[in-house]
Amino acid sequence: MFRIVALLFLCASSSAALAQTDDRSRREDPVVPLPASVAAPVDNPTTPDKVTLGKELFFDPRLSGDNTISCASCHFPERAFGDGIAWNKGHGGATLTRNTQSCLNVGFYSNFFWDGRSATLEDQALGPIQSEVEMNQNLDELEKELNAVPGYVRRFQTVFGTKPNRDGIAKALAAYQRTLVTGPSPFDRYLQGDKTALSADAVRGWELFRGEAKCIQCHNGPLLSDGKFYRLGVSEEDLGRAQVTGKKEDRYRFRTPTLRNVAETGPYMHDGSQKSLETVVTFYYRGIPQATTDGLPMDAPDLRGQSFADIPYLVAFLESLSGPAPDFTPPTLPPEPMSNSKTD
């Protein structure tokens, strides 16, 4: 669910350059602290009752076709709303082919999924529910099922003034996800003036991140993600953004992921192929091919020649990007009994 670019760290346009010694450019680093909350769209204001309903839906396996998979089957609160594995399982035990992205701070994105195929959280919410390989739920059937649950009928009436329907499901799920904002990380405190918030190693890593390693060219803004799409040589098995646009030049491109709480959200890359922060940084420092097998140029920087001795500093910096997760208590699902399977 909510499959959470193959641009994980240190990505940059091969033609771009970042000034490394200019004091003015350092004062204008395009990185800012994470805001404390996410702004809601006009047509879906955040309210406590709506968030509660969205939380119930997020953890309810009724949203899947066989009543066995919920959004939380891939997005575990105890794993930073990721799953800690390369590929999770979907409908019928099918192995999914993209790594689960965290839902933490997801409301700050302007597009969703690794390939950016949704422009809003509301649209994104219904995608995995309907996907044949993920939750495999027909929306007409889901509406019927939730309307048969008096608890949900009452909740939807309170929140939306309607019976349970797909529009309300999407809005409630989106409202809940917008509350999943992490608190200030050590790096946020450092940016706000607390120069004791980072270790000496993390400070050195920050200097490399915005300088020689060129990470900041793609990992910037409050999410430490520019929300754009890049081809990094991770693999050529998944067409990525091209599946959305149909353009050859978008083959193998994936959205830059956030680096917020990145130390808690491995494994990494769109295919989960990198197991640790160290292996991700090493992947770039070793240098990647300059073109794909079908001749498309890479978007990643050429970091060959950079000292491997710098890798621990970058890892220390990345570890400083973890802020406290929002308080979590399990939802109280509607008490009505639920069949374990649609076929029961």
141 counts as catalytic: no
Q: Structural domain boundaries of the chain?
A: 23-36+184-319, 48-177
Residue 338 has what pLDDT?
63
Percent of the chain predicted with pLDDT > 90 = 84
In three-state secondary structure terms, 198 is coil
Q: Which of 134, 145, 264, 319 is catalytic?
A: 134
pTM: 0.89
pLDDT, tens digit, for every residue of 78-98?
999 999 999 999 999 999 999
| Candidate from 189-203, 248-262, 286-300 with smallest mean pLDDT | 286-300
**Distance between CA 139 and CA 286 in Å, rounded?**
47
In three-state secondary structure terms, 122 is helix
Candidate CATH numbers 3.40.50.880, 3.30.2270.10, 1.10.3720.10, 1.10.760.10; the one for domain 48-177: 1.10.760.10
pLDDT, tens digit, for every residue of 47-63?
999 999 999 999 999 99
pLDDT band at 288 (very low <50, low <70, confident <90, very high): confident
Burial (Cβ within 10 Å: 0-12, 13-18, ≥19) of residue 326: middle
CB 243 within 8 A of CB 51: no
* CATH architecture of residue range(s) 23-36+184-319: Orthogonal Bundle (1.10)
Do the two domains 23-36+184-319 and 48-177 of this chain adopt the same fold?
yes
Residues 22-34 have a mean pLDDT of: 60
